[in-house]
Amino acid sequence: MSADTRSHPTGPTRRRPVQQRSQERYGRILDACAGLLDEVGAGALTTKEVAQRAQVPIGTLYQFFAGKEDLLAALAGRNLDLYLQRLDDRLASAAPVGPAAFTDLAVEEFVVMKRTVPGFGQVDFGLAGAAVPSGVRDDLHLLDAGMDNNAAVALRLQALGGELFTPGTAGLPQDQAALTLSLRVALEAADAVLKLAFRGDPEGDPALIAECKRLVRSYLAQRLPTP
């Protein structure tokens, strides 16, 4: 199941760190951002507070990030990289898996990260809340300027799934566009139900999480039939 799980950012990040010291500062800034998100939320987050928490000059933060939107975009990209790596590890341990098992593991890993990863409740692979905070002009394209967040995640999951989601493999549709659309719809449905599950319960409503799995498994079984 292994695949290229690296992020492919196209946002306005000023520069990527190369030297070890710069990489350490970059990571510390994102860690500070994640911690503050849990405390104050995305709406009240400021780059000044992030720099203070990370113990770096504000000028250093702006060397890496053009502003608040860019900072949140970088955190979303890091979260997606982490999610895909952890999911890949789960898939390797559970191999072989089919689409149904892939769905369950994907939902379960998302739930685990929602419960345990700092800041993930506010920014997972995009803004988790309904309100767009000030300083963020384009919350739908934090991961990729050319497509919305869920479309970008769907493509990365398709790549991670490998032959499970390769057109023409194991009886899957030959049409790449139809296959990609089915995975996108499945992800949108899962995203909506999981947002509902965590809306009133920080641990996630178990019944809604179970229904999310059931919904996506049933849909994919109809859209992606296998022998």
Q: What CA dihedral angle connects 9, 14, 19 and 20, to 10 degrees?
A: -70
Helix axes of 47-54 and 20-44: crossing angle, nearest 10 degrees: 140
* pLDDT (mean) for 42-50: 96
| Residue 2 belongs to some domain of the structure | no
pLDDT at 170: 60
Based on the structure, what is the number of domains in the chain? 1
Asked whether 117 and 79 are in contact (CB, 8 A), the reply is: yes
List the structure tokens of 88: 């890949």
* pLDDT (mean) for 47-55: 98
Please choose, from the candidates 1, 209, 2, the residue with its C-alpha nearest in 3D space to the C-alpha of residue 98. Answer: 1
* pLDDT (mean) for 33-46: 96
Beta bridge partners of 123: 127
| CA atoms of 13 and 16, how far apart (whole Å) | 7
| Residue 95 belongs to some domain of the structure | yes
Q: What is the CATH number of the domain that holds 180?
A: 1.10.357.10
For the chain, state the CA radius of gyration.
Answer: 18
DSSP string, 112-132: HHHHHSTTTTTBSSSB-SSSP
| CA atoms of 51 and 34, how far apart (whole Å) | 12
| Residue 114 belongs to some domain of the structure | yes
| Residue 169 belongs to some domain of the structure | yes
| Residue 202 belongs to some domain of the structure | yes
Categorize the per-residue pLDDT at 2 as very low, low, confident or very high, splitting at 50, 70 and 90. Answer: very low
The secondary structure of residue 133, as a DSSP letter, is: P
Categorize the per-residue pLDDT at 14 as very low, low, confident or very high, splitting at 50, 70 and 90. Answer: low
Helix (H, G, I), strand (E, B) or coil at 25: helix
pLDDT at 7: 41
| Residue 10 belongs to some domain of the structure | no
| CA atoms of 227 and 224, how far apart (whole Å) | 10
The domain in which residue 189 lies consists of: 20-223
Please choose, from the candidates 13, 14, 70, the residue with its C-alpha nearest in 3D space to the C-alpha of residue 45. Answer: 70
pLDDT at 13: 54
| Residue 186 belongs to some domain of the structure | yes
pLDDT at 226: 60
Please choose, from the candidates 70, 192, 78, 47, the residue with its C-alpha nearest in 3D space to the C-alpha of residue 128. Answer: 192
List the structure tokens of 16: 């990527």
pLDDT (tens digit, 9 = 90+) per residue, 169-223? 666 656 778 888 899 999 999 999 999 999 989 999 999 999 999 999 999 988 8
| Residue 65 belongs to some domain of the structure | yes
pLDDT (tens digit, 9 = 90+) per residue, 101-136? 999 999 999 999 999 999 999 999 999 987 888 889
pTM: 0.89
